[in-house]
Amino acid sequence: MKLLLTIGMAALLLLPATSVFAEGAGIEWDILSQEAVSLYQNGQYDRAATVAKKALEIAEKALGPDHPDVATSLNNLALPYASRGQYEQAEPLYLRSLAIWEKTLGPDDPSVAASLNNLAMLYVSQGQYDKAEPLYQRSLAIREKALGPEHPSVATSLNNLALLYVSQGQYDKAEPLYKRAQAIWEKSLGPNHTDLAASLNNLAMLYDTQGRYAQAEPLYKRALAIWGKALGPNHPSVATSLNNLAELYRTQGLYAQAEPLYKRAQAIWEKALGPNHPDVATSLNNRAELYRVQGLYAQAEPLHRRALAIREKVLGPNHPDVATSLNNLAELYRVQGQHTQAEPLYKRALAIKEKALGPDHPSVATTLNSLALLYVSREQYDKAEPFYKRALAIKEKALGPDHPDVATSLNNLALLYDAQKQYAQAEPLYKRSLAIREKALGLNHPSVAASLENMAALYRKTNREKAAEALEKRAENVRARHR
């Protein structure tokens, strides 16, 4: 389930009105720009876009098409479009903003670095990692040269580049960047600054993903303590921290510890941001998933439905987060055997993702995998296989052959062949899945245990009892480490 990342938010380029403005025009532009950002931060994306458009019109009329304040307005208009998944509308705005900064301030100005960062984040949202990486690297180089290697903005660039590597499963590249960012923030801002808390949160998330739960938990708790002290107990960043700690506990099966944290996070978001903010939908979704994995389906369904309603209203019916809600609601129906209710939701989720993100985005692969699971549940193996294969191909292309999500697809395809007693086809897929997980996640990750168990079951079916026992013993040792 999606965790909330904090530092990776796009920079909001709000510059003061310049003396080139007529006084009234300058004040009006400044007020509108501030209002647009406030609306954006409160999840009111439609209104934010309307106000940002008006600010852009004023800036262009007063200053011409190539003034830095026009670039600021273009950026602030792109933000709500990007948040609503309207990437085709956001990209030309970011590109024009970047071109203005480069022309007026030069290619090595820190404002150019911020603009590159925002454009890179747009590409990351669409799974276009190859486009994003050189932009993040150029942004980092500009900041290091202009501001020095120990500046907080350098830490932001390091953090965002690390986030990219995490998305690609390149955890060994991400960890040193996170640690360097953390050291910069701690040295320059002190041990109790909110940016440091965000850095701790993101490093914790990396460890969480790798199954290094004992290392993740104290980082999450320290981030929570910093945010609580600096911002007060009812700030949205505190809710983010509570949500992420709850996700850590849910992953470990510590459901009784997770639930009150989810509830407190939701209460904070509802009070601070209103009942229809996208972060509230995230909280509802995550708690619904907590109930689903416990078999509490009657408690999960209304939460998923409310999350879906919020996302459709605030983000529009064709946003990728709407597709996520549809996918999760469908999954709730699938596990209850309500296949006729699940299938159209999966298909609608798939259509949204393909249109919004393109047919080769990793999120498309997630829904393809879900549809395949539905067909497996019906024992419609011939319908499931092409979906699993397409999901695998997408993940290999987008994420590389050694990403943990590729291992998941290999494992699922192997299970499909296993169920049909096609053991010769299943075995090499299980082995490759296991090898990827061991390399990417470490020998003691729960997913490694799952791979070992699947391999052991296949060995038993093919009369290799000793080999099966050895794998089962390894799997049990891994499971014991997480109890």
The pair phi, psi for residue 14, each rounded to 5°, is -105, 105
Q: Buried (b) or exposed (e) across 311-328, using 16+ Cβ within 10 A?
A: bbebbbebbbbbbbbbbb
The predicted pLDDT at position 168 comes to 85
Q: Which two tokens stand for residue 248?
A: 């850590």
pLDDT of residue 83: 87
Alpha carbons 74 and 94: distance in angstroms, whole number: 7
Q: Report whether pLDDT(20) > 80.
A: no
Kindly report, residue by residue over 137-158, the tens digit of the pLDDT: 999 999 999 999 999 999 999 9
Taking 70 as the threshold, does the pLDDT of residue 2 lie above it? Answer: no
CA distances, 82 to each of 145, 237, 450 (Å): 29, 21, 37
Between CA 461 and CA 2 the distance in angstroms is 37
Mean pLDDT, rounded, for 290-310: 97
Q: Are 451 and 418 in contact (CB under 8 A)?
A: no
- For residues 355 and 373, the answer to whether their CB atoms sit within 8 Å is no
Tokens describing residue 392: 């695998």
Average pLDDT over residues 193-203: 94
Q: Give the C-alpha separation, 278 to 104, whole Å.
A: 36
* CB 310 within 8 Å of CB 278: yes
For residue 336, give Cα distances in angstroms to 1, 294, 332, 392, 434: 20, 12, 7, 26, 29
Phi, psi of 250, deg, nearest 5: -65, -40
Confidence of residue 265 (pLDDT cuts 50, 70, 90): very high
Indicate the pLDDT class of residue 44, thresholds 50, 70 and 90: confident
Query: What does the DSSP 8-state code read for residue 316?
Result: -
Q: How confident is the model at residue 15 (pLDDT cuts 50, 70, 90)?
A: very low
pLDDT score, position 276: 92
Give the pLDDT mean for 81-101.
93
Crossing angle between the packed helical segments 236-251 and 255-273, to the nearest 10 degrees: 160
Whole-angstrom Cα distance, residue 84 to residue 464?
53
Query: In the predicted model, what is the mean pLDDT of residues 282-304?
Result: 97
| Nearest alpha-carbon partner for 315 in 337, 347, 282 | 282
Per-residue confidence (pLDDT) for residue 211, from 0 to 100: 84
Tokens of 394: 């997408």
DSSP 277: -
Instruction: Name the least confident of 21-35, 54-68, 91-105, 133-147.
Output: 21-35
**Closest by CA position to 252, among listed 222, 220, 283, 223:** 220
pLDDT > 70? residue 272: yes
> What is the pLDDT, as a whole number, of residue 357?
87
> Which has more pLDDT, 242 or 1?
242
At 217-246, the pLDDT tens digits run: 999 999 999 999 999 999 999 999 999 999
* Top-confidence residue, 483 or 373: 373
Taking the C-alpha atoms of residue 213 and residue 263, their distance in angstroms, rounded to an integer, is 22
Higher-confidence position of 234 and 8: 234
What is the C-alpha radius of gyration for the chain, rounded to an integer number of angstroms?
24
Once rounded to an integer, what is the mean pLDDT over residues 85-92? 92
Identify the band that residue 253 occupies on the pLDDT scale cut at 50, 70 and 90.
confident
Query: 420 pLDDT band (50/70/90 cuts)?
Result: very high
Give per-residue pLDDT as tens, 452-472: 999 999 999 999 999 999 999
pLDDT of residue 167: 86
Q: Cβ-count burial of 33 within 10 angstroms (0-12 exposed, 13-18 middle, 19+ buried)?
A: buried
**CATH numbers and ranges of domains, the chain:** 401-483 (1.25.40.10)
Q: For residue 23, is pLDDT > 80?
A: no
> Is a pLDDT exceeding 90 seen at residue 481?
no
Q: Which residues of 272-292 are buried (b: 16+ CB within 10 A; e: fewer)?
A: bbeebbbbbbbbbbbbbbbbb
Contact 213, 252 (CB under 8 A): yes
The pLDDT assigned to 6 comes to: 41
Residues 340-395 have pLDDT tens digits of: 999 999 999 999 999 988 899 899 999 999 999 999 999 999 999 999 999 999 99
As a whole number, mean pLDDT of residues 33-52 equals: 90
Query: Residue 482 — φ and ψ, nearest 5°?
Result: -105, 10
Say what the pLDDT of residue 311 is. 95
